[in-house]
Amino acid sequence: MKFKCEQAVLAEAFGAASRAATGRATNPVLSCLRLVLAKNQLRVTGTDGDLTIESSITVADGEDGVVLVPAKLASEVIRSLNPGAVNVDVTGDKVQISSARVNFAVPIGAEGDFPKWSGSTGSGASISSAELADALKQVVRAASTDDARGVITGVLVTSDAGKLRLVATDSYRLAIRDIPASVLPDGAQVIIPARSLSELLRLLTLGDTVGIEVTDHDATFHVGNTRLVTRLIQGTYHDYKRLVPPPQPNSVTISREEALEAIRRVKLVARDPIGTPLRIRMANDGITMKIVSQDNGEAFEQLDGELTGNEIEMSFNNEFLAAGIDACQTDFVNIQTSEPGKLAVIRPKDGTDYTYLLMPLRS
DSSP one-letter string for 105-155: EEEP---S-PPPP-S--S--EEEEHHHHHHHHHHHGGGS---GGGGGGGEE
Residue 149 shares a structural domain with residue 224: yes
pTM for the predicted model, two decimal places: 0.91
Residue 268 shares a structural domain with residue 213: no
116 within domain boundaries: no
Question: What's residue 36's pLDDT?
Answer: 95
CATH number for the domain spanning 175: value is: 3.10.150.10
Of the three residues 218, 242, 266, the one that is the final residue of a domain is 242
pLDDT digits (tens, 9 = 90+) for 251-261: 999 999 999 99
Higher per-residue pLDDT: 185 or 21: 21
Residue 188 shares a structural domain with residue 210: yes
120 within domain boundaries: no
Q: How many domains does the chain have?
A: 3
257 within domain boundaries: yes
Q: How far is CA 340 from CA 116, 279, 312, 316, in A?
A: 53, 11, 7, 10
Least confident of 122-131, 157-166, 321-330: 122-131
Q: What is the mean pLDDT of residues 132-159?
A: 94
Q: Are 210 and 184 in contact (CB under 8 A)?
A: no
Question: What's residue 316's pLDDT?
Answer: 93
* 219: enclosing H helix or E strand: strand 218-223
- Residue 294 domain boundaries: 245-358
Question: What's residue 119's pLDDT?
Answer: 66
310 within domain boundaries: yes
pLDDT digits (tens, 9 = 90+) for 31-67: 999 999 999 999 999 999 899 999 999 999 999 999 9
Q: Are 180 and 163 in contact (CB under 8 A)?
A: yes
Q: What percent of the chain has pLDDT over 90?
A: 75
Edge-to-edge strands of the sheet including 65-70? Answer: 65-70, 32-38, 41-47, 51-58, 226-231, 218-223, 209-214, 125-128
117 within domain boundaries: no
Q: What residues contact residue 64 under an 8 Å CB cut-off, 6+ apart?
A: 1, 37, 38, 39
Q: Are strands 189-193 and 209-214 parallel, antiparallel or unpaired?
A: unpaired
Residue 138 shares a structural domain with residue 236: yes
Q: Are strands 297-303 and 226-231 parallel, antiparallel or unpaired?
A: unpaired
Question: What's residue 184's pLDDT?
Answer: 82
Residue 279 shares a structural domain with residue 337: yes
Euclidean distance between CA atoms 106 and 33, whole angstroms: 13
Say which amino acid occupies 63: E
Q: What residues contact residue 346 under an 8 Å CB cut-off, 6+ apart?
A: 324, 325, 328, 333, 334, 335, 336, 355, 356, 357, 358
Residue 90 shares a structural domain with residue 199: no
CA angle 305, 310, 316 (to 5 degrees): 65
Residue 235 shares a structural domain with residue 314: no
Residue 263 shares a structural domain with residue 335: yes
Buried b (16+ CB within 10 A) or exposed e, 7-20: bebbbbbbbbbbbb
Of the three residues 221, 242, 263, the one that is the final residue of a domain is 242
114 within domain boundaries: no
Residue 11 shares a structural domain with residue 38: yes
Q: Are 193 and 152 in contact (CB under 8 A)?
A: no
Question: What's residue 287's pLDDT?
Answer: 93
74 within domain boundaries: yes
Residue 346 shares a structural domain with residue 255: yes
Closest CA to 313 of 347, 290, 345, 346: 290
CA angle 162, 167, 173 (to 5 degrees): 145
Residue 236 shares a structural domain with residue 132: yes
Residue 82 shares a structural domain with residue 142: no
Of the three residues 107, 141, 170, the one that is the final residue of a domain is 107
216 within domain boundaries: yes
Higher per-residue pLDDT: 246 or 86: 86
